[in-house]
Structure 1
Amino acid sequence: MCPPSNKGAVLAVILALTMVVVVNGVSARFFVEKGSLTVLNSWKMGGKHDAAIANFGLPNYGGFMIGSVVYAGQDAYGCDSFKKTFNSKSPYPKILLIDRGVCNFAMKIWNGQQAGAAAVLIADNIGEPLIAMDSPQDEDPDFIDKINIPSALILRSLGDSLKKALKRGEEVILKIDWSESIPNPDERVEYELWANTNDECGVHCDKQIDFIKNFKGTAQILEKGGFTLFRPHYIAWFCPKELRLGSQCKTQCINQGRYCAPDPKQDSEDGYNGRDVVYENLRQLCVHRVAKEKNTSWIWWDYVTDFNIRCSMKEKKYSKECAETVVESLGLSLEKIKKCIGDPDADVENEVLKAEQAFQLGQENRGVVTIFPTLIINNAKYRGKLERTAVLKAICSGFKERTEPSICLNTDIETNECLEANGGCWQDKISNLTACKDTFRGRVCECPVVNGVQYKGDGYTSCKPYGPARCSMNDGGCWSETRKGLTFSACLNSETSGCRCPLGFRGDGLKCEDIDECKEKSACQCDDCKCKNIWGGYECKCSNNSLYMKEEDTCIEKRSGSRSRWLFTIVVVIAIASISLGAYTFYKYHLQSYVDSEIACIMSQYIPLESQSIIQDAK
């Protein structure tokens, strides 16, 4: 990361100091992002200790590390390559402890990594509150990029305690925990990137745009899915009143010195100046605002990458005209963006940039932003390498557990603990069901829900289906068996839980055995009965060609029964025939007379009857 300028020109320093100390009369605050250290095998040093996360390397966001502490030695400050590797008999990874002093933090950690350390702790040499370990601005950036282990600064008191224990020959097992370094209050992660449109600040600007290009696809997936809320921010300073009439403020500020940026080349007479940078910063903020109004806020990532390709400052294409071409190519309203930008020459406040300065000063739980690029996730500053996988891992650690999107469960950034021994959770190998659920921070054992059927249990040793539909899932975990096409089950859909052997079987419901009703003399007790046991029941036969009545457990003769049935049938048939004949006769005569009368009535209206003709003749 880098400050607003490369060489620290006078005005840039004044602007930076002005911004750090006060913005619009409000004092700035500084916060240190911390991880947690726990000494696992010493009650004297037990409990948790704070450790300030370094601003480089790869903190294991969302995870932890357990390792054995090894001391580099007194006066071994790690400023030169260690001539030995730090071996220990412990099977744990080595956590190297190095004293602060003599050279910069990054050099110590790089040399520790070269010596085989899995992590490096820097013990402070003075009694003071923890500070964030940053890399020196004149450091070789390639050297910084090679650091791929986590590191942190610890208090002098803790460092002294660790060194004393090691001197006594004790093994110190330490747990470094980053699982809560990023807050995870809910199901959505809010994050912001503080950047700058200047692309002539050297390798730091190159890293910023490379990150945006590489992270664009991931960011848009998260944004479109509603998993994240992203907001871009741009650092802006204001010019002191006593300098506003000078040429430097005029070339580096807009709106009469209210919003400024350092000159890209520290030469106001050559190339682009700070005013150009502030103007483009403002445009990119407005691009995000206008796109957000259309519910397409992720277009900002397209604009920034396209602008860098088509309107590069290095290629002398960094202009208003080029920017507007990119805006139109993305289907955004140019008029709305111009209205958002306003008049950069007017002696008035710009609402967009004024809000940026307030954000830059720092919110409730974080400090002032003075360097770019700076990434803030759930209101906590990201510490570590600005690289796609590392940043995604930090964002994923900001989700409430079990709410993270599937992109966070990619094997590139986390290990699926359910793949090994099923994570120690319950598993039904027959139906291939498991209670193991992979999450970003590890695994949880939780009974599943399958096809609407809820399994209940502790998730570790047992899970059983519960509810009316439970029998559809592996017979609810109850006994079931099929023989010769006949199936019996101890699961009853009428019951929401438990197993009960069906009629004809005995057992606990998890195992059922056939009852031999014949041997137990619980069936076929009539004198002429012969009993035969079958699976799930029994059969009874009567001698002398009789029929067995199961309900009465008795035999009856077929003949008498047959003769009675025939007689009954004949009587019923005769009765039905008589009723039908009577109904037909009634229908025939009654209906016929009714129809005749109706026809006569109708005909009389059109054809005079004989009686009517006689009456008329008499008249």
Structure 2
Amino acid sequence: MSPINKGVVILALFLTLTMVVNGFSSRFFVEKSSVTVLNSWSMGAKHDAAIADFGLPNYGGFMIGSVVYAGQGCDSFNKTLKHKSPYPTILLIDRGVCSFALKIWNGQKSGVASVLIADNIVEPLITMDSPEETQGEDPDFIDKIKIPSALILRSFGDSLKKALNRGEEVILKIDWSESIPNPDERVEYELWSNTNDECGVHCNEQMTFIKNFKGTAQILEKGGYTLFTPHYIAWFCPKELRLSRQCKTQCINQGRYCAPDPEKNFEDGYNGKDVVYENLRQLCVHKVAKEKNSSWVWWDYVTDFNIRCSMKEKKYSKECADNVVKSLGLSLEKVKKCIGDPDADVENEVLKAEEAFQLGQENRGVITIFPTLIINNAQYRGKLERIAVLKAICSGFKERTEPSICLNADMETNECLEANGGCWQDKISNVTACKDTYRGRVCECPVVNGVQYKGNGYISCKPYGPSRCSINNGSCWSETRKDLTFSACSNSETSGCRCPLGFQGDGLKCEDIDECKEQSACQCNGCKCKNNWGGYECKCSNNSLYMKEQDTCIERRSGSRSRWLFTVVVLIAIAGISLASYMFYKYHIQSYMDSEIVSIMSQYIPLESQNINEDSKANNNSGRL
């Protein structure tokens, strides 16, 4: 067959799909972000912008920047396009002359944060796709585009350029927070791909993404956070060509489901028929795995098949695929039953459903870009890259309902690394209110070692609670001089800073009060005031003593030492007399007590002396007789 005839058949396959797609053009959706002018009401508040199909859109987040206009932007700027504005730079470039991607690549090299392309004709918004062929100093520049970009209407672009020509600064907010819908607590997403691994850059990008995203996808699926469905793009032959040799080699089921020849050579290598058959097999693998409640096994099959059964290594075969199915513990019989007979002149229910999905649903567009990721019925725009896609999926959850995988370190935007993200920061204690999330940085006062900071997060955060003084002295003033420390933070208070006694200020800065001047300390006659750090000292003249409580001086005289000595002697004498009196008193009391005791006892117990007296009296009486 001549090359012309080959080209006619291949063209017929693509035209058939194109005709069907055009028939459903009303279902083609342009995925959008919003652009809001923050400092000018004359241009309107909010405008739509069509997200480019390359670069990395900031799904779930937003960006605020100052606009710089740069004309066509087809040539490298060879300089940094930034100005004195504290905001990041958003570059405005006109459409035309060269490809969208080249303009945005030149903008990225100039250091801007984002690029807006202003349409040069009056038309509805379209999606900026990457060119089939690239030209320039770096043919792989499309894969290196990391900044977000979008197309805006001509009218909006003209308004921006007029304002800039008048010397005005235009501040824009580009917002992707509503680009992915979040209707419920589960995200549903689809990947439209192809098993052909020799289709060039697109196939390589698709397979690299699947390998890198496999682990993340399986975590989301196993946790019940997402529902993933694979889809495969298919073509079909027109009825008048179905019996041709070309359609038979590129299609199954009698020309109903086709794929372009991988090598674009009907005489050599694999055919489109082989690709369609493997596409169908992978759909059935997912279906059988889902019946076992292990739908995530699809990711293992696809990655294993690409490694073990590569088309480039001439191992792309049914036998190799069957071995992969069995190695994953799936039922080969069920997979084959799902595939059916590829040579039968009947419709295949699985592939028929794929055609219906491909032509679009009620609330989502037709599939025209390959590969395509659809998240909650919105087509993902941007590079198929693990972190970027995960960020888009996470933005499909309602805020604060996203799973923990959305909040890990890989998802951080790193906005806090530059100027602390514009948030409050205490550089002394290295405490910051800036926190990176997949939605962008947030400025929230932190909790440090159990101490809660309170404030707006942007210009102020102050520690609150009884332990606040343990963290950088509660952000209050503190100073030490000669081992003497004063602080404006008190643990008895839950907030605020107050200069201690002897100091004045707002608590964030305290200065010593010169009590000798400002408070007229030491008011007594003959007093001299000396100011100290944090206090003062009063001294009396003429060798007098200062009594602080009474703020008075007691006079000292020359004979004071003799008087003190005399006083000491008198006191000693008094002490001696008192001691002697006490001893005499004690002796007298003891004698008195002894006599009393004897008197009492004599009344009950006869004493020897009493007996003697009684005997003496008896003898005297007897003599008288």
The interval holding the TM-score normalised by the smaller chain is: 0.5 to 0.7
1:430-579 mapped onto 2 (5 Å cutoff) = 440=439
Partner residue in 1 for 2:39: 41
One-letter code aligned to 1:290: V
1:65-118 superposed Cα distances (whole Å, 9 cap, x missing partner): 11110011xxx3111111443232211111111111111101111111112211
Partner residue in 2 for 1:279: 277
Q: 2:90 aligns with which of 83, 86, 95?
A: 95
1:593-608 mapped onto 2 (5 Å cutoff) = none
CA contact 2:24–2:366 (8 Å) conserved in 1: no
Partner residue in 2 for 1:602: none
Displacement of 1:366 after TM fit? 2.1
The answer to whether structure 1 residue 249 and structure 2 residue 247 are counterparts is yes
CA contact 1:93–1:117 (8 Å) conserved in 2: yes
Identify which range, 23-32 or 143-152, moves more after superposition.
Answer: 23-32
One-letter code aligned to 2:224: G
Cα distance change, pair 226–90 in 1 and its aligned pair in 2 (3 A): same
Displacement of 1:26 after TM fit? 6.4
1:40-59 mapped onto 2 (5 Å cutoff) = 40-59=38-57
Cα distance change, pair 17–125 in 1 and its aligned pair in 2 (3 A): same
Cα distance change, pair 327–28 in 1 and its aligned pair in 2 (3 A): farther
Partner residue in 2 for 1:63: 61
Displacement of 1:422 after TM fit? 14
- Give the Cα separation in 1 of the matches to 2:83 and 2:421: 30
Please say which structure displays the higher CA radius of gyration: 2
Displacement of 1:126 after TM fit? 0.5
Displacement of 1:416 after TM fit? 9.0
One-letter code aligned to 1:180: E
The answer to whether structure 1 residue 121 and structure 2 residue 119 are counterparts is no
One-letter code aligned to 2:163: A
CA contact 1:194–1:373 (8 Å) conserved in 2: yes
Structure-2-length-normalised TM-score: 0.66
- Give the Cα separation in 2 of the matches to 1:242 and 1:115: 54
Partner residue in 1 for 2:178: 180
- Give the Cα separation in 2 of the matches to 1:384 and 1:417: 20
Q: 1:86 aligns with which of 65, 81, 85?
A: 81
Cα distance change, pair 442–9 in 1 and its aligned pair in 2 (3 A): farther
One-letter code aligned to 2:232: Y
Displacement of 1:21 after TM fit? 2.9
1:350-361 mapped onto 2 (5 Å cutoff) = 350-361=348-359
Partner residue in 2 for 1:306: 304
- Give the Cα separation in 1 of the matches to 2:10 and 2:127: 23
1:272-312 superposed Cα distances (whole Å, 9 cap, x missing partner): 00000000000000000000000100000000011011111
Displacement of 1:369 after TM fit? 1.1
- Give the Cα separation in 1 of the matches to 2:437 and 2:145: 29
RMSD of aligned residue pairs (Cα, Å): 3.5
- Give the Cα separation in 1 of the matches to 2:159 and 2:203: 42
Query: What residue ranges of structure 1 are gaps of 5+ in the alignment?
Result: 1-7, 425-433, 449-458, 462-476, 479-508, 511-619
The answer to whether structure 1 residue 77 and structure 2 residue 75 are counterparts is no
Partner residue in 2 for 1:291: 289
Cα distance change, pair 23–105 in 1 and its aligned pair in 2 (3 A): closer
Partner residue in 2 for 1:31: 29
CA contact 1:96–1:117 (8 Å) conserved in 2: yes
- Give the Cα separation in 2 of the matches to 1:326 and 1:48: 52
The answer to whether structure 1 residue 111 and structure 2 residue 99 are counterparts is no
- Give the Cα separation in 2 of the matches to 1:439 and 1:446: 18
Partner residue in 2 for 1:225: 223
Partner residue in 1 for 2:142: 144
Displacement of 1:164 after TM fit? 0.4
- Give the Cα separation in 1 of the matches to 2:73 and 2:438: 38
1:240-389 mapped onto 2 (5 Å cutoff) = 240-389=238-387
Match of 1:332, SS? coil
Partner residue in 1 for 2:588: none
Cα distance change, pair 333–223 in 1 and its aligned pair in 2 (3 A): same
- Give the Cα separation in 1 of the matches to 2:141 and 2:52: 15
The answer to whether structure 1 residue 21 and structure 2 residue 19 are counterparts is yes
One-letter code aligned to 2:383: K
Displacement of 1:15 after TM fit? 2.4
1:127-153 superposed Cα distances (whole Å, 9 cap, x missing partner): 000000011011266210111111110
Partner residue in 2 for 1:209: 207
Report how many aligned residue pairs link the two structures.
448
The answer to whether structure 1 residue 12 and structure 2 residue 10 are counterparts is yes
One-letter code aligned to 1:132: T
Partner residue in 2 for 1:606: none
Match of 1:403, SS? coil
Cα distance change, pair 45–288 in 1 and its aligned pair in 2 (3 A): same
Cα distance change, pair 300–156 in 1 and its aligned pair in 2 (3 A): same
Displacement of 1:14 after TM fit? 2.4
Match of 1:297, SS? coil
- Give the Cα separation in 2 of the matches to 1:63 and 1:280: 38
Displacement of 1:17 after TM fit? 2.8
Partner residue in 1 for 2:156: 158
Match of 1:364, SS? coil
Displacement of 1:13 after TM fit? 3.1
CA contact 1:98–1:108 (8 Å) conserved in 2: yes
Displacement of 1:186 after TM fit? 1.4
Cα distance change, pair 397–278 in 1 and its aligned pair in 2 (3 A): same
1:360-439 mapped onto 2 (5 Å cutoff) = 360-415=358-413
- Give the Cα separation in 1 of the matches to 2:77 and 2:100: 15
- Give the Cα separation in 2 of the matches to 1:421 and 1:202: 40
- Give the Cα separation in 1 of the matches to 2:276 and 2:438: 42
Partner residue in 1 for 2:579: none
Cα distance change, pair 441–403 in 1 and its aligned pair in 2 (3 A): farther
Partner residue in 2 for 1:544: none
Displacement of 1:46 after TM fit? 3.0
Match of 1:96, SS? strand
Displacement of 1:444 after TM fit? 9.6
Structure-1-length-normalised TM-score: 0.67
Q: 2:166 aligns with which of 165, 168, 187?
A: 168
1:205-236 superposed Cα distances (whole Å, 9 cap, x missing partner): 11211111111111111111111111100001
Query: What residue ranges of structure 2 are gaps of 5+ in the alignment?
Result: 1-5, 425-432, 448-453, 457-464, 467-493, 496-625
Cα distance change, pair 385–415 in 1 and its aligned pair in 2 (3 A): closer
Displacement of 1:313 after TM fit? 0.8
CA contact 2:60–2:438 (8 Å) conserved in 1: no
- Give the Cα separation in 1 of the matches to 2:107 and 2:439: 29
